[in-house]
Structure 1
């Protein structure tokens, strides 16, 4: 597998794309393979589309209910920020069937979101806002007996977007341990949250059909099944997602390790040469990816330039596969050689697209890894470890952190803080923005280096002492040491970058996490 020094660079992590191991894709495969049944049991909406919808889900191991409330929202009050208190839709995923008493309880609390309170029968709480422009256009077209234009749909790509999805014990909900052990259908990371997004998309299409029929019962038509496939679900993501990758290193290690295992298996499968059938599949996938990148609509010029550059390099790949296909098969050419070529000639974004395509070629080798995406996240302190051993551990595993020159002002030019106004993490500029005294502990490289220097000083005076004695003198480093000792046993958990550098790009953190969710067609609104 590839070394962490290569994989865990921020720009490479930010170049990841959804793959066969992404959570939405593994969920949908599971739903199809296990033949889940989803039935609408309540669809109580008025003529404007406001009201209550309940869907009953019969999965392999249990029954669940998806409960949704549709509300009138003045367009001027439509806000995707965490601080919003009104939304077009609010929803909950619950265990079992929902009776009248529980539905009333949910109706009184789910629309309030953080201001409400639910119980452990609920394991996801979410909300969404509509794309006013696209939703109104689609409904008007359907009401007038016409199918919406695909080119217009592609400009946005969805009718509703999620603005938050809560789980894991928040607000009174079932915690992850209960979901993992008692609801096996959702025992993989973020499976319940992904299903909530799936159901939001399902409702959004029904919602458009319903409102069109209510407005013009004599002329309205339903969305064509083929056109429905052009709709996804939007996701309004802020910096609040970025700290997750830093605060959950064992989980991130597990995700990336399985992805790297999948890539290694794909490369190994082509180690004795590539047959014509596999080559044909790669040609087809390459054409789809080129089309996919060309369909992305974004107002961010840098993203447009990046997408164009990747498409151009993939066209080079497509031409080579077409022109040299017979020679590739006959010569015993390998995927390892293709990856080497890409790393020498192509940008990082294209390299990771290629890696994703290679993973896609071998479902029989890759799909079983989806069962290995969860992990025990406890970090354990080893107090009896000799300090000299810990010092050596840091020098070996955290050489990247020790190499950062924190005397350079730019090296500490940024800091992370939680905005009181926006109620979510923000990235501030040192000595310019307020809040540095309340910065979040996300500078792992600086934390490790500071701990290392204190250990070296302590060893000078007490060379035979262990971690326990050091922590008695320096208790503030207990968290850092438990993280170091735990992560030293993994390969990919720590991002090997100075996350408080003046020029750090948090967008890479968001894109990495979203790629594991299965999100694509990124439209960045900030760095």
Structure 2
């Protein structure tokens, strides 16, 4: 950075960690799906289908193997004939159209026999440390039937119906990191291709999408015989994998402050680096302008029936119109044009529009920001250890930094503590209930860090500021988790949500969207304030077509396609 170049800081955590802002994040270059596909293309991974033993009714098994430079990973698929009345997106479902596991290596027949007894059972079965993920998916019935029938009759499916849904199957869970016997994160964390978070899960979904395309072609061929046609590759590209995600994902960003901080800090560092670019090359400015046009197409295809999302989507479309008009006067040749554009967006666009612009400015600058992906994992094992030598005063200052706003709230007001997070006995999944209407307070999980921080500060006020926090915690062990979080904030300024997670007005879908945006999800469609449908990999090349030239900007739809 030259001497006269401005130091452009990362955006303030007090601004970025509000729930409304987190609920407006969009995918970007540093989303996990895009990081994975860039690697697969760059390293020329080979994807094969050694087994596809599926009958005319869509029942059987298949294996898809992705071989990288050093090792292979195999998606093991079990396809089922599921009656319509058993098809459910709810976590309490016990049967699905297809079930999957990502196997570490290439499975032998004995492995497949073991997995056949467990994977279709999902939570009721058990997998081993040889498996990296466990997942399941259901058909989008109307679109599935339409596509199979049209292909069987020798016709391509109707594009309007393809656009209205966007996927032929949707997953209802993709489990990993030790759940149900799968390998712990530590087993794969040191592998270069798995260093970035959730790469195993993203690979599982990518291979699942390929299986779904193959299955629909297979079933149409069996139904239509010689008159059947295969799904047009251009239409297949438009189809992603849907996902239904509920409250099980929401506590993640509360329970993993260091990890989520790293995601946010990397994104903010990337934005800061681009804002500090003194001059935009003409081709970079043109890339940005083109992606704005493609984002207009994406917004038009975004469907939702939820009133909150409809309002946000309408605002985003207005923002894109405003941005498009502004670009007519934007001088990309001026000094620090990206910084000027971000500053303009902060006063001219909604949070949805601001965060889209922040994502889009990264796209021309892969060489500047892509390397930051290696900083997104949490390798700071020492951060969990409480430093008992810190003074009461020092810990109080740390709490003030992250939770000063929370001390102004009246925690005796029922509206500020109306909700409580707990774990369901049946499925061991996070739930959120009404504190004053349901008997759940005794089972509450520590997912209200703001309230707990305010209580800890009150307790600390009664102690000598020079006392050690170790002495305080000997007398008040109930505040250990809050003190730990306060100390983590020294290395994780983006680790804390700056909003009340148990208020009467909290929208858990904001937490879901924040996490899913880092996955690379698009077209968020909340079905309530507690669960959301999304689409993954729509527009992405299939393995046989993936190259370094098309491995990245596929997420932005071409106008007219």
Shorter-chain TM-score category?
Answer: over 0.9
**Paired residue for 2:195?**
187
**Paired residue for 1:250?**
258
Q: State the alpha-carbon separation in 2 of the partners of residues 105 and 383 from structure 1.
A: 48
**Paired residue for 1:503?**
505
Report the RMSD for the aligned CA atoms in angstroms. Answer: 1.6
Given candidates 136, 149, 170, the residue that maps to 1:161 is 170
**Paired residue for 2:439?**
434
| Range with greater deviation from structure 2 (382-391 or 289-298) | 382-391
Q: How does 1:489-500 map to 2 (within 5 A)?
A: 489-500=491-502
CA contact (8 A) 2:177 2:184 kept: yes
**Paired residue for 1:518?**
520
Q: State the alpha-carbon separation in 2 of the partners of residues 129 and 503 from structure 1.
A: 32
CA contact (8 A) 1:266 1:361 kept: no
**Paired residue for 2:376?**
373
**Paired residue for 2:325?**
319
CA contact (8 A) 1:88 1:130 kept: yes
Given candidates 314, 317, 337, the residue that maps to 1:334 is 337
Cα gap change, 1:473 to 1:302, in 2 (>3 Å): closer
Given candidates 120, 124, 129, the residue that maps to 1:115 is 124
**Paired residue for 1:468?**
470
> 1:108-142 deviations in whole A, cap 9, x for unaligned?
11111111112111111111111111111101010
| Range with greater deviation from structure 2 (402-411 or 102-111) | 402-411
Q: State the alpha-carbon separation in 2 of the partners of residues 179 and 200 from structure 1.
A: 21
Does the alignment pair 1:17 with 2:19?
A: no
Q: State the alpha-carbon separation in 1 of the partners of residues 44 and 242 from structure 2.
A: 26
**Paired residue for 1:44?**
53
How many corresponding residue pairs?
A: 518
Given candidates 228, 231, 247, the residue that maps to 2:239 is 231
Does the alignment pair 1:444 with 2:452?
A: no
Deviation at 1:330, TM superposition (A): 5.2
Q: State the alpha-carbon separation in 1 of the partners of residues 230 and 166 from structure 2.
A: 18
Q: State the alpha-carbon separation in 2 of the partners of residues 259 and 55 from structure 1.
A: 32
Deviation at 1:218, TM superposition (A): 1.2
**Paired residue for 2:288?**
282
CA contact (8 A) 2:27 2:519 kept: yes
Deviation at 1:421, TM superposition (A): 5.5
Q: State the alpha-carbon separation in 2 of the partners of residues 33 and 275 from structure 1.
A: 25
Specify the SS of the correspondent of 1:94.
Answer: strand
Deviation at 1:394, TM superposition (A): 2.1
Q: State the alpha-carbon separation in 1 of the partners of residues 408 and 362 from structure 2.
A: 34
CA contact (8 A) 1:300 1:524 kept: yes
Does the alignment pair 1:481 with 2:483?
A: yes
Q: State the alpha-carbon separation in 1 of the partners of residues 276 and 14 from structure 2.
A: 21
Q: State the alpha-carbon separation in 2 of the partners of residues 211 and 510 from structure 1.
A: 34
Q: Give the TM-score normalised by structure 1.
A: 0.95
| Range with greater deviation from structure 2 (415-424 or 117-126) | 415-424
Specify the SS of the correspondent of 2:172.
Answer: strand
CA contact (8 A) 1:127 1:163 kept: yes
Cα gap change, 1:330 to 1:250, in 2 (>3 Å): closer
Q: State the alpha-carbon separation in 2 of the partners of residues 331 and 36 from structure 1.
A: 42
**Paired residue for 1:411?**
416
Given candidates 276, 295, 300, the residue that maps to 2:301 is 295
**Paired residue for 1:76?**
85
Deviation at 1:524, TM superposition (A): 0.5
Cα gap change, 1:422 to 1:478, in 2 (>3 Å): closer
| Range with greater deviation from structure 2 (167-176 or 141-150) | 167-176
CA contact (8 A) 1:81 1:422 kept: no
Deviation at 1:479, TM superposition (A): 2.0
Does the alignment pair 1:100 with 2:109?
A: yes
Q: State the alpha-carbon separation in 2 of the partners of residues 206 and 177 from structure 1.
A: 33
> 1:77-112 deviations in whole A, cap 9, x for unaligned?
111111111111111111122111111001111111
Does the alignment pair 1:261 with 2:275?
A: no
Does the alignment pair 1:394 with 2:396?
A: no
Does the alignment pair 1:7 with 2:16?
A: yes
Q: State the alpha-carbon separation in 1 of the partners of residues 390 and 24 from structure 2.
A: 38
- Structure 1 portions without partners, runs of 5+: none
Q: State the alpha-carbon separation in 1 of the partners of residues 147 and 47 from structure 2.
A: 25
Q: State the alpha-carbon separation in 2 of the partners of residues 307 and 389 from structure 1.
A: 44
Deviation at 1:275, TM superposition (A): 4.2
Q: State the alpha-carbon separation in 2 of the partners of residues 492 and 234 from structure 1.
A: 29
Specify the SS of the correspondent of 2:117.
Answer: helix
Q: State the alpha-carbon separation in 1 of the partners of residues 366 and 336 from structure 2.
A: 21
Specify the SS of the correspondent of 1:522.
Answer: strand
Cα gap change, 1:185 to 1:489, in 2 (>3 Å): closer
CA contact (8 A) 1:37 1:57 kept: yes
Deviation at 1:185, TM superposition (A): 2.5
Specify the SS of the correspondent of 2:497.
Answer: coil
CA contact (8 A) 1:60 1:185 kept: no
Does the alignment pair 1:357 with 2:365?
A: no
Cα gap change, 1:75 to 1:241, in 2 (>3 Å): same
